[in-house]
A = this chain, B = another copy of it.
Amino acid sequence: MILSKRRLAHIVFASNDRASKTFDLVLLWLIFGSIIVAILDSVGHLHDKYGDVFFVLELAFTFLFTLEYILRVWLTSKTWKYVISFYGIVDLLAILPVYLSFFVVNSHLLSVIRALRLLRVIRILKLGRYLVEAEFLSESLKASAAKIQIFLFSVLTLVLIMGTLMFVVEGPENGFTSIPVGMYWAIVTLTTVGFGDITPNTPVGQLLASLIMLMGYAIIAVPTGIVSSEMAKRRNTEDHYKTHRSCTHCGFDNLESGDSFCRKCGEPVNSRG
């Protein structure tokens, strides 16, 4: 049973018949399995016990993902476009660290590469191919991107000034050892995360911290407002297209419920068109 290149390409890239659906399903399970092995291998006492099993499994996964990468590069008509595409880079990053750990002998570099091997969890992004409903969310975020950028810039300005003030007021003896640490603390506080690893101890510092927290409380409303109003608008547009009628004369499909004449051709509209 020898497959033609065209048939193989169909199995790999499409998902509308039994063979291509099976390919997708197998890939899905491979991704999940590979990630679970990576996660379990990072747990100390499991690594001590089953480290060898995990290593063999990881080699197998890497071999299969390499096969997939080669297939995709070979089968696609636009090889270069795939290689530099988002999923092309993800597919490469998912196998590269494992191979690097074989070819590097320097022991210090090796430990860095070993750490990088953990980044094969990036394979989760391969799942993005199977998400189609996510567009609503990403479009809402994209449409709000400009406003969110300005918002983040304002937040960072506040963080810089507040982090510096806290460094001046509290000083290294209370954990604020430098402006970057002060800025880290300001972000922790302004986002209401509040780890508590660094906390103000002087009355003036606590007053300043209270101000930052109340500000954070007030401005947390801003990104929510941006996304909410964006989504509400998007939904209205959707509803608009769902409920509107078409003109029986010219087919214009954007009539509203109160229209007596078609907005496009000027012909009278039937009451229940």
A residues bordering B, Cβ < 8 Å? Answer: 35, 38-39, 42-44, 115-116, 118-119, 121-122, 124-125, 127, 131, 133-134, 136-137, 140-141, 146-148, 150-155, 157, 160-161, 164-165, 167-168, 172, 177-181, 183-184, 187-197, 199, 203, 206-207, 209-210, 213-214, 216-218, 220-233, 235, 239, 251-268, 271
Q: Is the CB of A231 within 8 A of B220?
A: no
For A263, the chain B residues whose CB sits under 8 A away are 255-256, 258-263
Q: Is the CB of B187 within 8 A of A213?
A: yes
Q: Is the CB of B265 within 8 A of A254?
A: no
Q: Is the CB of B195 within 8 A of A195?
A: yes
- A231 to B190 CA separation, bound complex (whole angstroms): 22
Q: Is the CB of B192 within 8 A of A192?
A: yes
Task: With CB as the reference atom, state the residue of chain B lying closest to A152.
Answer: B214
Q: Is the interface of A mostly helix, strand, loop or mixed?
A: helix
Number of copies: 4
Q: Is the CB of B184 within 8 A of A206?
A: yes
Q: 10 closest Cβ contacts across the A-B interface?
A: A193-B194, A261-B266, A195-B196, A196-B196, A42-B179, A221-B227, A225-B227, A259-B263, A197-B199, A225-B228
